[in-house]
């Protein structure tokens, strides 16, 4: 029996971009394929790691680095991991790519104007009123992923369903190309 290499699906984007919703759709897709992915939510991890007050750039980079090491640990045991996290920092992307075989970076690129409309946690509203600081993408600089494996660009016609569908279709294409390359080289 052939063992498929586990993947780490690193879903990133600013607050309100639809990371968790997209992750749930991806998990459903993976389960349909007979895989048993583990879901890691950045907000939940932050609480588990007792880092709810870690909001500076340096603290966020350290926290995101821990997420990357955890994902690697789980993938090394043969588990697929789907993580939904902001974690938009060049050192994190670089470490993940260098150390996690099967790493797939998914960037949900949603304009700030749309994020402000969604704002499910009132993060942008509170920041605009001066009640919240160190907000990723506002007063806290983030690094846009330079070469994500999948780059979903929001448009006015977009929905969470469209994003998930695009990502799953792209993953199918990537998988098809891998299989074709394996067959062509074998």
Measured CA to CA, the distance from residue 63 to residue 42 in angstroms comes to: 10
Q: Which of 15, 20, 87, 155 is catalytic?
A: 87
CA separation for the pair 170, 106 (Å, rounded):
10
Alpha-carbon span 186 to 167, nearest angstrom: 28
Q: Which residue has the tokens 């016609």?
A: 157
Give dist(CA 12, CA 173) in Å, integer: 20
Active-site annotation holds for 155? no
55-62: long-range pairs with CB below 8 Å, 24+? 55/133, 55/134, 55/140, 56/134, 56/140, 57/89, 57/134, 57/140, 57/141, 60/86, 60/87, 60/89, 60/136, 60/140, 61/89, 61/91, 61/92
By annotation, the residues acting in catalysis are 87
């Amino acid at each position: 029996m052939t063992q498929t290499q586990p993947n780490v699906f690193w879903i990133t984007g600013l607050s309100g971009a639809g990371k968790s919703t997209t992750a749930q759709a991806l998990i459903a897709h993976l389960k349909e394929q007979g895989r048993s992915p583990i879901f890691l939510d950045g907000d939940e991890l932050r609480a588990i790691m007792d880092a709810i007050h870690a909001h500076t750039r340096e603290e966020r980079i350290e926290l995101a680095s821990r997420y990357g090491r955890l994902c690697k640990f789980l993938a090394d045991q043969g588990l697929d991991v789907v993580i939904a996290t902001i974690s938009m920092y060049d050192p994190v992307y670089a470490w993940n790519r260098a150390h996690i075989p099967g790493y797939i970076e998914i960037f949900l690129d949603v304009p700030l104007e749309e994020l402000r409309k969604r704002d499910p946690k009132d993060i942008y509203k509170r920041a605009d009123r001066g009640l919240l600081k160190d907000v990723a993408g506002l007063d806290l600089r983030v690094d846009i992923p330079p070469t994500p494996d999948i780059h979903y660009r929001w448009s006015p016609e977009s929905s969470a369903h469209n994003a998930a569908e695009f990502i799953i279709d792209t993953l199918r294409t990537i998988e098809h190309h891998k299989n074709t390359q394996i067959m062509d080289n074998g």
